[in-house]
Amino acid sequence: MDIFTSVVEGLLGPDGMIYLAGAAGLILVLLTLPAVLTKKVDPLDRIAAERKATERKDLAEDGLSRHGSRNEHLAKYAKYLETEDKEELSKTRLMLTQAGYAHKDAVRTLTAAQFLLGIGLMVLGAIYALLLASGLSPMMMFAYIVGPGCAGYYAPKYWVQKRVAKRQEEIQDGFPDALDLLLVCVEAGQSLDQSIIRMATEIEPSYPSLASEFLMVAQEMKAGKDKAHVLRSMAERCDINDITSFVTVLIQSASFGTSIADALRVYADEMRDKRVMRAEEKANVLPTKLTVGTMMFCVPPLLIILIGPSLHGIAETLSGGAVGF
């Protein structure tokens, strides 16, 4: 051991053993890292997710608010954070609901974020323009001050709009699977309300946004609201053509007394076909996108490799001829 210690200290210095221990620890970490990264999901996670969904449903049935209590700090400034225009307020609340923010104070939170971010960036722009960037023209100083403020004011609403698009895409992707599961539940003899609850519970781990919409529909039906009104509200919240058509199918099936299972079977087949068509459309667009990437990143290096030596030789020939002349 003394010989090994002396050899290590001779190679790495007085702290060689510490370096060696650190290297050994790093090697052990690198060896265990693949096992951690490739760890399989525990099959019991699904049971835990179902239990969590059941607990959430029990809380809703106990009378607790689905979206929590109101924020007292924002309530103090409600008259400043909520517009008096009912139409504009309704549009903003609908946009936030479509983004998944159906909380009672969602509109106030968005308005507060716009004001705080706009004023904060405007102050930073003013500090930069007045203290750090001296000698600016009045127009440039105005741009440095007002530009960040406008960007900060519109950034939260732009982010919410992007969130709406992302949520709609998630709902559209999971809707065919939800229809298939709903059809299975209806054909098994369950009522529409029970089928919606079971289907929403099953798809919640994969498509939480779609599951929350169907759970809201089920709870509103349990509360005694008109089924047609509840379904139309869901179509308005989602703002997707597939959901709107699905709601129309269910309402017409209930109005004319036809079998809901038959209507769901036909519509589920149509939704599967539409999903295949969307996948084929993306696959057909892919070669065009790859062509642009190829032209940008592959053609210039190829031209440099092919033409570069010739240009270099021509340049040397011309320079040699000029020297000889």
Give the model's pLDDT for residue 318.
81
Asked whether the predicted pLDDT for residue 173 surpasses 80, the reply is yes
Mean of pLDDT values over 275-295: 85
Asked whether residue 35 carries a pLDDT value surpassing 70, the answer given is no
- DSSP letters along 75-93, please? HTTHHHHS-S-HHHHHHHH
pLDDT tens-digit readout, 219-237: 888 888 888 888 888 888 8
The more confidently predicted of residues 318 and 45 is 318
Q: How far apart are CA 215 and CA 208, in angstroms?
A: 10
The pair of structure tokens assigned to 315 is 């340049």
Mean pLDDT value across the chain? 78
* Residue from 191, 179, 187, 201 nearest 247 by CA: 179
What is the average per-residue pLDDT within 139-152?
85
pLDDT greater than 70 at residue 152: yes
Query: Is it the case that residue 197 has pLDDT exceeding 60?
Result: yes
Q: Which residue has 């993306």 as its token pair?
A: 282
Average pLDDT over residues 198-218: 88
Query: Which pLDDT score is estimated for 45?
Result: 65
| Reported confidence tier of residue 105, pLDDT bands at 50, 70, 90 | confident
Percentage, residues of the chain above pLDDT 90:
1
Higher pLDDT residue, 307 or 79?
307
Which pLDDT band, with edges at 50, 70 and 90, does 59 fall under?
very low
Say whether pLDDT at 63 is over 70: no
CA–CA dist 266, 249 (Å, integer): 10
| Across 20-48, average pLDDT | 66
Alpha-carbon torsion angle 47, 52, 57, 61, nearest 10: 120
Range in 63-72, 128-137, 271-280, 306-315 with the lowest mean pLDDT:
63-72
Range 33-42 burial, b when 16+ CB lie within 10 A, else e: eeeeeeeeee
DSSP 208-237: HHHHHHHHHHHHHHHTT--HHHHHHHHHHH
Length of the chain: 325
For the chain, percent of residues with pLDDT exceeding 70: 74
- Supply the pLDDT for residue 99: 87
Whole-angstrom distance, CA of residue 230 vs CA of residue 222: 11
pLDDT at position 263 over 50: yes
**Is the pLDDT at 156 greater than 80, yes or no?**
yes
The answer to whether 209 touches 167, Cβ cutoff 8 Å, is yes
What is the pTM (predicted TM-score) of this model? 0.63
The DSSP result for 115-151, as a single string, is HHHHHHHHHHHHHIIIIISTT--HHHHHHHHHHHHHH
The residues near 146 (Cβ < 8 Å, ≥ 6 apart) are 122, 125
Task: Compute the C-alpha angle 186/189/195, nearest 5°.
Answer: 40
Confirm if 171 and 207 have CB atoms less than 8 A apart. yes
